[in-house]
Amino acid sequence: MQNPIWATNPSKSPFWGPTFLDRHCSKLIIQSTRRLSRRRKKGGEREWALRAMPCSSINTTSSSTDDNGALRAFKLSESTFLASLMPKKEIAADRFVEAHPEYDGRGVVIAIFDSGVDPAAAGLQVTSDGKPKILDVLDCTGSGDIDTSTVVKADSDGCLHGASGATLVVNSSWKNPSGEWHVGYKLVYELFTDTLTSRLKKERRKKWDEKHQEVIAEAVKNLDEFDQKHIKVEDAQLKRAREDLQNRVDFLQKQAESYDDKGPIIDAVVWNDGELWRVALDTQSLEDDPGCGKLADFVPLTNYRIERKFGVFSKLDACSCVVNVYDQGNILSIVTDSSPHGTHVAGIATAFHPKEPLLNGVAPGAQIISCKIGDSRLGSMETGTGLTRALIAAVEHKCDLINMSYGEPTMLPDYGRFVDLVNEAVNKHHLIFVSSAGNSGPALSTVGAPGGTTSSIIGVGAYVSPAMAAGAHCVVEPPSEGLEYTWSSRGPTVDGDLGVCISAPGGAVAPVPTWTLQRRMLMNGTSMSSPSACGGIALLISAMKAEGIPVSPYSVRRALENTSVPVGGLPEDKLSTGQGLMQVDKAHGYIQKSRDFPNVWYQIKINEAGKSTSTSRGIYLREASRCHQSTEWTVQVEPKFHDDASNLEQLVPFEECIELHSTERAIVRAPEYLLLTHNGRSFKLQSTWRGPLFRIPITITKPMAVKNQPPIVSFSGMTFLPGHIERKYIEVPLGASWVEATMRTSGFDTCRRFFVDTLQISPLQRPIKWERVATFSSPTAKNFTFAVEGGRTMELAIAQFWSSGIGSHGATNVDFEIVFHGININKEEVVLDGSEAPIRIDAKALLSSEKLAPAAVLNKVRIPYRPIEAKLRALPTDRDKLPSGKQILALTLTYKFKLEDGAEIKPQIPLLNNRIYDTKFESQFYMISDANKRVYAIGDVYPNSSKLPKGEYNLLLHLRHDNVLFLEKMKQLVLFIERNVEDKEAVRLSFFSQPDGPIMGNGAFKSSVLVPGVKESFYVGPPNKDKLPKNISEGSVLLGAISYGVLSFGGEEGGKNPKKNPVSYQISYLVPPNKVDEEKGKGSSQSCTKSVSERLEEEVRDAKIKILGSLKHGTDEERSEWRKLAASLKSEYPKYTPLLAKILEGLVSESNAEDKICHDEEVIDAANEVVCSIDRDELAKYFSLKSDPEDEEAEKMKKKMETTRDQLAEALYQKGLALAEIESLKQGEKAPEAAAAEGTKDVDKTDDQSAPESTQPDLFEENFKELKKWVDIKSSKYGTLWVVRERRCGRLGTALKVLIDMIQDNGEPPKKKLYELKLSLIDEIGWAHLASYERQWMLVRFPPSLPLF
């Protein structure tokens, strides 16, 4: 039952009053009622239905067909069809603009908080009076930000070294007085939507395949020609030559199979021309024609609001882009939309088509700014950062209106950081905020935040008229009258507010971005009703400005609510449609008539007498216990003025006499009058035409009690027509935890689509909602199961979709049966503390007999981490400065974690996760990267699972707020890394009937039958320590699920997996300390035979070598100091291998030597010294014998000899690399054609010979053969030398194969040198398309820096 208290002002008083007015309270008495309404059902059963008394609305007579678009019998003409695609008649916007052509939104600026608006879209270039339509385009999320802090200068030829590594040529006509060019780059797919990226990938793959097939065909041809020339291959060199050709073919085929297009790379250049910051993009990688997309040909752009120009990346993508420069050229924002949604929304509100006026938006004269709040990195999801920056921009641009077609369920209505900022924008800056109510209907209390839950926002429901159904939706037989869309969210909020303010058309065919390759698209949702309402309000503001009427969100909202046309005849329809379908013309008349009244908003705070519960904005009596007795409520009404209201002219004189009305006096009693006063001015009783000044929604549901045994509820003989909704309210029995439901349909011949929702409300939780879309192609039955909370009212909402079955005049018959089940347990969350003790579980069935079949599995590992670093800074740009002048601060926390094996992980921050709107924190954003700065995962309040390979990772968490104290408290914020365990490693727990069962192994508990009222107990045992997942550390937590019951129709398999059972609970296990290694420390070391002086000398020697290894080689001075110490130590310990190995290591680390050949010769000499210091015969003899692992001295010797062998191998390896580099530098690089053919030449060479032939001994080959004696040359550690050897011999295909094997076998993060070597081999062979592909991947694997937040 929905019973508003509404208040009118019967007085016309010139006295306005203060915001600090003493609070005035009134009492409401809500009486107990036996029933709300009762209808006789077939078979004599009674059912309870929601009924409410009508809510009065002044100056709103019964609607005509012109008022709400309800056309009972009509035929579309071409003009009415076009008009239905962009509905305006329904809200009387067409009549209003026809009567007032200059009030079409002119002078009004709307901020579109959405996924971004395409400035190239149809109808979004100019307004009806010729002004620019889009004043600014902003990416408030940061998803398009590029770090352009790197500054370079052009050479004499005008060339720059781009951030991607490409050489860029600047246009000589570009002015740049400083000569400084800021450079950055972006993977273009990061700017595109998934849909656009998918299209581009298909087109690029097609072209890539064409080039690749040519290369494969050539490689196969070379192999075939070789086979024809050498029918019988016995010579070793010929075998290697053929193997090389085969390896090339294999490599190309594998590349085709593993192709993964990460997208083209665009280089960005930013500079200051002396007046403005300019931007140019190099998009050659997007173009097929190598002459297109060059940096010098790009028409420079500047911040959009200055020149209002945009660019297009290429003809292939047809994607528009806008640029904005921040922080003195150090940050470039490239703005693209993250979905077509925002452009569609902007088109509904403001599109102007001079040649197609019927397709105009509601307010074609209005201007807009586009504030992108949908983050492209998150698939167009909003972020706290985007929302805050958007509000800052709306205030800065002095916008009149905000439209936001975004939102989600919330735990706390009218609460949170964003709500606080919205309140400031509305109350202080007079912004009118319009937002969608949500698409989660048809159940009640499904309105989303912020639109349906925030007092200062006008929440809009979605309405469909017969004309819209016939035209936009192409329904053959439209409904006889307009109705709310089935999925439109309903009120009230959990604190009793109405939720939906007004309704507007919720579908349209509107402009979409050019990259969609179409001009318009049909979309429906409250996302569409919100801009329709927003456009209608823009018409009102346009009129108010033209007529000199002060614009206030308070007066506009009151006019809308008091002139709307009711939709539907039931009081409960108020919860669906709000006050009804808005009417622009009537609202305008109301505003004109009330122009001299104060702009005041009445804040309502309600408390139940005698209770200390928090205040609410309405009264919502939902639970069965609330209907058993009368209750008394205190209503506090406080007038609120805008922050800039004058104390003397508006606040002090304010005084109003309020007359209170109850729409159902039998249920709600209230005082008749209320005087809101400050100075006690007199008043006269008149002006009742103003209608309600404020409303107090009172919603009462009386659920039916379930008294049957077993607890079964049946609703039989329900009949449905399109759009019909049946709501049933049931008091879920105490002890129930799940429902098994059956829905049977009959009496129809065409397909039927139903929405089946259930909803319960529990304190400090989001509404507990279960939903299904059930499609019946023929009369049949469907089974459902879902969890419930015992003792709370459950709404069952069954709705036939508004357009389902239209044209078929027969009704659908539905029978719905609900069976409640439940097993009550004493511990909803089971925590195993790591000991060997089991946990006792007490189980009891309160309703009926239930099968008790416990099942538990641990399949996740959660590890806590604290940050290793915390950096707090003020954000540098004005886009992060609040309207109050406060600069937003950012706290960046760094966490480190390691994965011993590849795994799927998810970061969890319990304090912050899963809340965007109902949180006092502004925003969070994280990115996970490896040692190479490659980003593997990003996320915000809703973290996603990401698959990561083995390795070490950094997680950076970015937190924002303007209050430094809040951020300081979070510098040691605990974060959890949650890792999924593979099924084969998941731990399934056992159950016992005895407490000693886990140790003794007896008394296993399998299943039982619970008899109502009889408690049964059993134990859940801890996991077997030997079966814990590998690589799990002390202090970690194993997480999983435990269930107790099974579905009656689930079969035997249902009980084995807790998640497949109807209700499961969390179970956790704290991993205890590892068992002590019994062998550790066993057996004391034998007495040392060395004297104290000898041991001291060794310690001193090793300390000197350690110091040598710690010295840096960055500058000439540092290198000189290092060399002096190295020479001194070498003279002191000339044959000590560890010292010589350390000297070699130091020389190798000097990678920036100017004279490469000289440096390589030094490396060779140092390597020879290491080799000469080792007795290789003795080493070989040792490894030919087996050592005794039980002999401690033998084990020590083994470790020493292995170390010596590794030092020998490393010396030979480095010597080989140096020899190859000297040879390459002296001979110069071979032509690619010669290198590619090298594998088929010189077939008479022996295996010991290298290319080219020489009478001199081949030092490289000799060194290579020596290295092969000691180590596996194929290992990732030494394989590079094998690659070099194959390359010297011209066998580039084999070199590639060896290199690929090394890369795949290497478990560490990818090494850049290996991929650079791969790229050079591909370049040398001449596979240009593969080289381009690899270069793009290089910037993915090895970016120069982390992206910006």
* Residue 1342 main-chain phi, psi, to 5 deg: -135, 65
Average pLDDT over residues 257-279: 95
Per residue in 125-155, pLDDT (tens digit) is 999 999 999 999 999 999 999 999 999 999 9
Q: How sure is the predictor about 343, in pLDDT bands with cuts at 50, 70 and 90?
A: very high
Average pLDDT over residues 227-232: 86
Which amino acid, one-letter code, is at 677? T
What's the number of CA atoms in the CB half-sphere (13 Å) around residue 1181? 5
Angle between helices 1279-1288 and 1312-1325 (to 10 degrees): 20
Neighbours of 621 (CB within 10 A): 20
Is residue 22 over pLDDT 70?
A: no
Query: Distance between CA atoms of 305 and 135, rounded to whole angstroms?
Result: 6
Q: How sure is the predictor about 1255, in pLDDT bands with cuts at 50, 70 and 90?
A: low
DSSP state of 612: -
Q: What is the pTM of this model?
A: 0.89
Average pLDDT over residues 679-691: 49
Is residue 1081 over pLDDT 50?
A: no
Query: Distance between CA atoms of 562 and 581, rounded to whole angstroms?
Result: 11
Average pLDDT over residues 261-278: 96
Is residue 1069 over pLDDT 80?
A: yes
- For residue 64, CA distances in Å to 447, 869, 900 come to 29, 67, 71
Per residue in 714-759, pLDDT (tens digit) is 999 999 999 999 999 999 999 999 999 999 999 998 899 999 999 9
Query: Distance between CA atoms of 249 and 221, rounded to whole angstroms?
Result: 10
Cα 1293 from chain centroid (whole Å)? 43
Residues with Cβ < 8 Å from 1111, sequence gap 6 or more? Answer: 1118, 1121, 1122, 1125, 1146
Average pLDDT over residues 1312-1317: 91
Looking at residue 1182, its pLDDT comes to 83
Q: Roughly how many angstroms between the first and final C-alpha of the chain, as a whole number?
A: 48
DSSP state of 135: E
More confident residue, 796 or 1120: 796
Which amino acid, one-letter code, is at 1343? P
Looking at residue 1055, its pLDDT comes to 55
CB of 380 closer than 8 Å to CB of 115? yes
Is residue 55 over pLDDT 90?
A: no
Residue of 655, 778, 636 lying closest to 24 (CA atoms)? 636
Residues marked as catalytic: 114, 341, 527
Residue of 646, 638, 645, 652 lying closest to 680 (CA atoms)? 652
Query: Distance between CA atoms of 710 and 1000, rounded to whole angstroms?
Result: 40
Looking at residue 53, its pLDDT comes to 25
Residue 1096, judged by CB atoms within 10 A of its CB (0-12, 13-18, 19+), counts as: exposed
Planar angle of CA 584, 477, 772, nearest 5 degrees: 85
* Residue 374 main-chain phi, psi, to 5 deg: -90, 110
* Residue 8 main-chain phi, psi, to 5 deg: -115, 160
DSSP state of 682: -
Looking at residue 1160, its pLDDT comes to 86
CA torsion sign, 365 to 366 to 369 to 373?
Answer: negative
Is residue 1053 over pLDDT 90?
A: no
What 3-state DSSP class applies to 691?
A: coil
Residue of 128, 194, 139 lying closest to 356 (CA atoms)? 128
What 3-state DSSP class applies to 763?
A: coil
Q: DSSP labels for 1071-1110?
A: PPPPPP-TTTT-SPPPPP-S-HHHHHHHHHHHHHHHHHHH
Residue of 956, 1038, 852 lying closest to 1345 (CA atoms)? 956
Per residue in 886-938, pLDDT (tens digit) is 999 999 999 999 999 899 999 999 999 999 999 999 999 999 999 999 999 99
What's the number of CA atoms in the CB half-sphere (13 Å) around residue 1117? 0
Tokens of 75: 């035929």
Is residue 885 over pLDDT 50?
A: yes
Q: How sure is the predictor about 382, in pLDDT bands with cuts at 50, 70 and 90?
A: very high
DSSP state of 63: P
Is residue 1088 over pLDDT 70?
A: no
Neighbours of 519 (CB within 10 A): 16
Residue of 298, 958, 381, 1048 lying closest to 741 (CA atoms)? 1048
Which strand (E) or helix (H) includes residue 436? Answer: strand 432-436
Per residue in 541-595, pLDDT (tens digit) is 999 999 999 999 999 999 999 999 999 888 889 999 999 999 999 999 999 999 9
- Beta strand ranges found along 648-751 (DSSP E): 655-662, 668-669, 673-677, 692-696, 698-700, 704-705, 712-720, 725-731, 738-746
Looking at residue 361, its pLDDT comes to 97
Tokens of 375: 């983050």
**Range from 401-405, 793-797, 799-803, 1176-1180 carrying the lowest mean pLDDT:** 1176-1180
Query: Distance between CA atoms of 1050 and 1059, rounded to whole angstroms?
Result: 12
Which strand (E) or helix (H) includes residue 905? Answer: strand 903-908
Query: Distance between CA atoms of 1317 and 736, rounded to whole angstroms?
Result: 66
What 3-state DSSP class applies to 494?
A: coil
What 3-state DSSP class applies to 839?
A: strand
Query: Distance between CA atoms of 966 and 429, rounded to whole angstroms?
Result: 27
Per residue in 316-328, pLDDT (tens digit) is 999 999 999 999 9
DSSP state of 689: G
More confident residue, 1166 or 54: 1166
pLDDT above 90 as % of the chain:
64
Residue of 622, 963, 578, 900 lying closest to 761 (CA atoms)? 622
Query: Distance between CA atoms of 92 and 611, rounded to whole angstroms?
Result: 46
Query: Distance between CA atoms of 816 and 715, rounded to whole angstroms?
Result: 5
Q: How sure is the predictor about 39, in pLDDT bands with cuts at 50, 70 and 90?
A: very low
**Range from 181-185, 200-204, 999-1003 carrying the lowest mean pLDDT:** 999-1003
**Range from 28-32, 372-376, 777-781, 1131-1135 carrying the lowest mean pLDDT:** 28-32
Q: How sure is the predictor about 1256, in pLDDT bands with cuts at 50, 70 and 90?
A: low
